[in-house]
Amino acid sequence: MKIEFMMDSPQDEVHTQQSPHEVQMESITKKTQRGGNFGLEEDCLIVSAWLNASLDAVQGKEQKHKTYWNRVWEYFNKKTFTSTRNANSPMNRWSTIQLQTNKVVGILASIKMANPSGVNEQNKIIKAKEAYLKVQAVPFKFDHCWNILRHQPKWLELVTKPQKPQMIRRSTATSSPSTLESIHPGEDEVSHASFVDLERPPGRKAEKND
């Protein structure tokens, strides 16, 4: 009986209680795991998941928007480490990665088109990032993603596909934009067209042309 009393005593309870600092740190840790900022490893995993889903020869162009991103999330979730993010998190993060990377790609394309003499490929990339910094007021922070994407045929197909600005303008005026199109409508032709081709369910373009 004496042992039981000692185990249930207030002193023992105080001893096992967490300090305010420990409680705060635990809260921060849980927040980081569930919905905090994405780390480099998570970003690379999202890019890998996008490539894995996009390169599926059978389903790549046939799956609907929700189904597509559920597949990306399933891939992400199987490979994940401490994150318990929901299905929307990889989609939203990918849209940010793609949008910002497309901005640098667009600037780089303009520099290459100008073809400055005595400037090699690496210096052109540096100039593109400097121009991005001027416009965005923050440095480009997705090098780790771009390094994975830049030589992938699927990515190259998206960023080099011929633009159809008239079709994009007409679709904006006559139909409701998709979720990703509404983020920055008309802001960047390369980025905008990539979102249209990647995220729109099959058949939407045909419906608009009818």
List pLDDT tens digits, range 106-122: 999 999 999 888 889 99
Residue 84: predicted pLDDT = 67
Question: Which of 74-78, 164-168, 175-179, 192-196 bottoms out in mean pLDDT, i.e. has the lowest?
Answer: 192-196
Give residue 33's pLDDT band: very low, low, confident or very high (50, 70, 90): very low
CA angle 166, 159, 53 (to 5 degrees): 110
Distance CA 118, CA 130 (A): 18
Residue 111: predicted pLDDT = 93
Whether the pLDDT of residue 192 is over 60: the answer is: no
Whether the pLDDT of residue 99 is over 80: the answer is: yes
Distance CA 142, CA 39 (A): 11
Alpha helix positions (H), the chain: 2-7, 10-16, 20-35, 40-54, 65-79, 88-114, 121-136, 143-149, 153-160, 165-174, 189-199, 204-209
Name the one residue in this structure whose structure tokens are 């600092």: 21
Question: Which of 24-28, 63-67, 162-166 bottoms out in mean pLDDT, i.e. has the lowest?
Answer: 24-28
